[in-house]
Amino acid sequence: MKHRTDYPDMEYKTKKQWIKAGFYPDENKGSRLWSNPYHNTAPIYYLPEEVHPITEEEKDIVRRENKLKREKYKEKREERQRKRIEHIKEFYENKIERQVFIATQNKAAELADACIQMANQLPAVECKNPSKIVVFDIETTGLSQEIDEILQISIIDGEGNELINSYVRPYWNESWDEAQAIHGITKDMVSEAPYLHELIPKLKGIFESAELLIAYNNALDVGFIERAGINLSDKKQYDVMQAFAPFYGDWDDYFGSFKWKKLTTAASYLGYEFNAHDSLEDVRATLHCYKCLKDLESTGKYDEVVKKNYNFVNGIMEEAVPETDESKKCEENKKSKTSDEKLEKEQRLDKRNMFLMGKSR
């Protein structure tokens, strides 16, 4: 199947793009083409001679189709909310257990805050870091910065040297089944690990040694680090996930932006294999992706690809950019990793389904 860029001089547009322009495709016309070189989607494209000015009847059809899409999205959203409410009700079904849980958690949280405040009064442990770069990642009991805790933290410098790699013993969380299904960190693995406040002087020294902080989806990690009293607001930050999204070029019409991709996708696309969801492995993969993207920026290829991806989205046809060795390599890496990614996704879904089945019993 051909790519849209194989026809730079032809005004190919999708049905949606023609409708926005006030036209409607003729029946049994159009050609199915890959929308970009990454083979994300293959919609049907139409030429000007394959469309006609949209009629009132066709406008009604479009309105009905859009209404159905909105209704389906609303149903899915309501179903997710219903399941979430059921989960909360189930969790708090026993009022006595709930009260005990809250009381225990509050006491532990108060003690933890006191320990963390005291630890922040201690001097930072000096860290030798000539690169002035740190790449960091954490694994946690969940995604809430209010009730969840750090279970593992790993940091390397800009040359890949390990600065810290430690499990962290939580103060109040005793189980984290959903998170454990992803990163595999069990209660036993952290039972003898240091508490977070014991690591703070070393962490302060590491972050103070850096001028640039690199992470993948850094908003989550930074939130947990700053909750421990370590201020990162004065540091330059580079989020590899944000930088990779427009380079990969998978557009999301609903959010009006390029989709954020998992670290496994970015690393695989840029030719790096690793054991995902171990924070030390994750930081090494993140550093590899950062260096690849910066190399592409230095040669101008990053801006070239991003511009081309935005032009695809906006329906602007331009002369196809010649294939480079780097783009060929990226395409080959993506194809070779597709089956592995599907298998990994199926395995994760199986783990999650087993958890949900056990919980329903």
At 45 the three-state DSSP class reads strand
Q: Are 153 and 86 in contact, with CB atoms under 8 Å apart? A: no
Give start and end residues of each alpha helix (H) in 14-146: 15-20, 56-91, 95-121
**Does 31 lie in the same domain as 101?**
no
Please give the mean pLDDT across all residues of the chain: 85
pLDDT of residue 335: 58
**Does 131 lie in the same domain as 250?**
yes
Rounded mean pLDDT, 80-86: 86
129 assigned to some structural domain = yes
Domain encompassing residue 50: 4-54
Q: Are 25 and 46 in contact, with CB atoms under 8 Å apart? A: yes
Residue that has been written with the tokens 């801006």 in this structure: 303
**Does 115 lie in the same domain as 250?**
yes
* Distance between CA atoms of residues 175 and 358, nearest Å: 15
pLDDT of residue 39: 72
72 assigned to some structural domain = no
Domain count of the fold of the chain: 2
235 Cβ contact partners less than 8 Å away, ≥ 6 residues apart: 207, 210, 211, 212, 213
What percent of the chain clears pLDDT 90, i.e. is strictly above it? 52
Q: Is the pTM of this model over 0.75?
A: no
Q: pLDDT by residue (tens digit) across 324-359?
A: 555 555 566 655 555 565 566 566 555 555 544 443
pLDDT tier at 322, thresholds 50, 70, 90: very low
pLDDT of residue 355: 45
Q: pLDDT by residue (tens digit) across 246-283?
A: 999 998 888 888 999 999 999 999 999 888 878 899 99
Give the sign of the dihedral formed by CA 184, CA 189, CA 191, CA 192.
Answer: negative
Residue that has been written with the tokens 């511009």 in this structure: 307
35 assigned to some structural domain = yes
Q: Does residue 198 register a pLDDT over 90?
A: yes
138 assigned to some structural domain = yes
pLDDT tier at 86, thresholds 50, 70, 90: confident
Rounded mean pLDDT, 168-195: 92
Pairing of strands 31-32, 133-140: unpaired
pLDDT of residue 313: 81
184 assigned to some structural domain = yes
**Does 98 lie in the same domain as 19?**
no
Residue that has been written with the tokens 């194989």 in this structure: 6
82 assigned to some structural domain = no
pLDDT of residue 207: 97
351 assigned to some structural domain = yes
**Does 22 lie in the same domain as 111?**
no
CATH number for position 247: 3.30.420.10
> DSSP letter at 127?
-
pLDDT of residue 201: 95
